[in-house]
Structure 1
């Protein structure tokens, strides 16, 4: 049996809400189910047929345990015969789930896959172990540096000489672009309304003066540069895509997966993971960044995003390449950890497929991962 290329033919996401706010009553399973149901309906409409569904794969970081993908699948009304699998690659989980689904198709499956991620920080449980509660599991064992992502971003800013002004300007860019995209209706077709909520609650007009008021939160105020204003907000949300083999796509337009790379790096600088993933992916595919039309990076922190973008030649003292997060990113929209990588692919689908970009246009999605890893995936428009 020859291998098939996997193509994303539908992509939807819920609104993204700050922890404890508009989506705080929804469990991670409920958020995921809403996204899955809408994505599956879109896929069947695009195909004009009911292609069998072979698996549901979701990323999740901090949920209640168990198998979120299976619970959400059943909650979405998907038949009991369809299995589900949940994976954890931290902030790269949603993108990793899509890659795994594509690999299943490449291995010979002729059925559809639903893949993505979900996170409900509002309902995430407190973890208890002998000796008391703890915030998270270790990203690395004893003997390795294991920083939380905020302090890691602060260290990276110092290591790469990324100023507070540069970080604030990047955050302002993300917010202004997201506000413009929202006001122009560019998010409407990708969003799944929930309980009357149909917009993200994060994007807002942010001036340099407003951002300057935020105090550093991970270092001494006199020397720190990473603030709540230039960091993404902990958030609730879900995103999913439908992938089908090229042999079953028919005339449905979509994003064909060209290649992907997941790599490890020094756990002390986890934010640099996308640099090595992008380099590996470009070498694997023979593509240059100059050939890529749309780029989505999970903007966990302005310092982290700028460090990556500068390293790969997409940012400099003169500014950030216009192809990067053109409609804003996680700094404005929010960062639902397990979902954010999948949100990046939903955004590529809107920017390239929904926007009518020609066949052959390329899109890149990438994310940094706690513990020192990076994931990147390259997609091509097919029509």
Structure 2
């Protein structure tokens, strides 16, 4: 079996909906990232695989590939698994390499909420089962798993403090490909009194006994991210030092009313069938769509705080749906580069419809 490795990972700065990236179409957001990753490898890239959720339709990956100036021979495929689409694109590329379908892929995701033509969200589930908005689903998770407003606010504050500290330490610089003169996440245009924001925020999805607020939820955002997935021997032949190697992945399904908890069965099975326990995992990135979801996952999986989203996450920096899973992997790639002793890392996303995707990587640097 061929082995799939990730040798590089990049992203754009993340903008707020109708913010600094508001006029940039999805293919234009993704193109600079693809161009950066493809430099010098244009003639060996097999395909571009991108997740996209609220875009214009059509094959955004192919359009982005052409916009990036890649050869006409580099094909593209666009997929939608809601918030886990970017992670699924990477998962798919890794399996393509393992199965000898190809040897070199650009995989990730892109989202331009600002230019989306859709006035309303897509359906996640039939009415007979229940199709709550994601915010309402976050409230349902909080109630089902006993995640109080206090716990949610504490995690949201920790996320902000970690992401701000990482920004101040320039840890995001190596991740980011500037786009349209922008090179900094819009959230970091100024420091905020996040603790005060949390105290003042009111429940927005359930007025009576609600716990989910705008301050302990992610924003709606624009951005793109991708990674360079290669067959390990080919990567080394081309002068790359692989950073992480694909080991295994799991996709799990839960009740669509509780999508936020879907990473739990995915990660549980991933650990079990690879004969690992949580102590064996050095870093875990789980998308922070809502604090209730991430706290529930942390408690159910007994994840130590110092292993989970160590540089902050979507609660602070934002959640460009189709790109978020790829941003998690990008964060892992750059974090393990800064460490000397990491061995295993995991990226996971819970998405609309009650689908959890988790990928296990081995550090090979």
TM-score tier after normalising by the smaller chain length: over 0.9
Q: Secondary structure at the match of 2:87?
A: helix
Post-superposition Cα deviations, 1:107-136, rounded to whole Å, max 9, x if no partner, equal 114521000000000000036xxxxxxx12
Is 1:265 the counterpart of 2:254? The answer is yes
Cα offset for 1:209?
2.9
Cα offset for 1:247?
2.0
Aligned match of 2:218 = 232
Cα offset for 1:143?
1.6
Is 1:170 the counterpart of 2:152? The answer is no
CA distance in 1, matches of 2:333, 2:87: 13
Is 1:152 the counterpart of 2:141? The answer is no
Q: Secondary structure at the match of 1:188?
A: coil
CA distance in 2, matches of 1:161, 1:235: 29
Cα offset for 1:50?
6.4
TM-score by length of 2: 0.95
Aligned match of 1:379 = 361
Post-superposition Cα deviations, 1:125-161, rounded to whole Å, max 9, x if no partner, equal 036xxxxxxx122111242111111000011111212
Is 1:352 the counterpart of 2:336? The answer is yes
Q: Secondary structure at the match of 2:260?
A: helix
Structure 1: 4+ residue segments shifted above 2 A: 203-210
Is 1:123 the counterpart of 2:115? The answer is yes
Cα offset for 1:177?
0.6
Aligned match of 2:204 = 217
> Residues 282 and 343 of structure 2 are in contact (CA less than 8 Å); yes or no, is this contact kept in structure 1?
yes
Question: Gaps spanning 5+ residues in structure 2: where?
Answer: none
Q: Structure 1 pair 122/69, CA: closer, same or farther in 2 (3 Å)?
A: same
> Residues 70 and 83 of structure 1 are in contact (CA less than 8 Å); yes or no, is this contact kept in structure 2?
yes
CA distance in 2, matches of 1:271, 1:74: 36
CA distance in 2, matches of 1:153, 1:39: 35
CA distance in 1, matches of 2:195, 2:20: 27
> Residues 42 and 70 of structure 2 are in contact (CA less than 8 Å); yes or no, is this contact kept in structure 1?
no
TM-score by length of 1: 0.91
Aligned match of 1:363 = 345
Aligned match of 2:310 = 326
CA distance in 2, matches of 1:289, 1:51: 40
Aligned match of 1:17 = 15
> Residues 51 and 112 of structure 1 are in contact (CA less than 8 Å); yes or no, is this contact kept in structure 2?
no
Cα offset for 1:363?
1.1
Point out the more displaced range, 253-262 or 64-73.
253-262
Aligned match of 2:33 = 35
Q: Where do 1:74-93 residues align within 5 Å?
A: 74-93=66-85
Aligned match of 2:282 = 293
Is 1:252 the counterpart of 2:241? The answer is yes
Superposition RMSD in Å:
1.5
